[in-house]
Amino acid sequence: MIRSFNGKTPVIDESAFVSESAYVIGDVEIGEGSSVWPGAVIRGDFGKIKIGKNTCVEDNCIVHSAPETLIIGDNVHIGHGAAINCHVIDDEVLIGMNATLLHEAEIGKQCVIGASCLVTQGMKIADKSFVAGIPGKVKGEVSQQQLWWVTEGSKAYTALAKEYKEQGL
């Protein structure tokens, strides 16, 4: 379901896939080749949400912005059930299933945020960091194997979204 709010209508690239059971409302931009899966909610009512190219928002995620713009970069993979309420997720990032990113947090390029991790308010994560735990702590630099999941996961979901669109889903 795609809805306007306070005169702001989501702008979704025609190549993007948005499930009919997702809810996208307000000041939201979704880039080329990106996908929003069943049960996901992207709510641009307090502030703008900009989602880049080939980014995947999996099933049952919540993406909500504070008054400032929430920027999610290109080739980002947000795992099932994640709650995103941060300020920036840079390019080529994997957010694990059920992770929570709180207000004003910023995630650098090529990071991996572990499943069920809690990124606390205002936390700044440097490029190529692996973060896990509650609260989230940098556990080290992202390994080549973890980067493979970032790159290949994004490609796989971009291809899958294209198949869904081709089949009229």
**Domain edges within the chain:** 2-166
Residue 34's pLDDT band (cuts 50, 70, 90): very high
Q: What is the percentage of the chain residues whose pLDDT exceeds 90?
A: 92
* pLDDT the model gives residue 169: 86
d(CA 129, CA 37): 26
| CATH 2.160.10.10 describes domain 2-166 | yes
Residue 102's pLDDT band (cuts 50, 70, 90): very high
Report the half-sphere exposure of 114 (CA within 13 A, side-chain side): 17
| Phi, psi of 110, rounded to the nearest 5 degrees | 55, 45
**Running DSSP on this structure, what letter comes out for residue 74?**
S
Q: What share of the chain is helix, strand, coil (3-state, %, to 5)?
A: 15, 40, 50
Of the candidates 6, 61, 2, the one whose C-alpha atom is nearest the C-alpha of residue 30 is 2
Q: What is the percentage of the chain residues whose pLDDT exceeds 70?
A: 100
pLDDT digits (tens, 9 = 90+) for 43-68: 999 999 999 999 999 999 999 998 88
pLDDT > 90? residue 82: yes
Residue 150's pLDDT band (cuts 50, 70, 90): confident
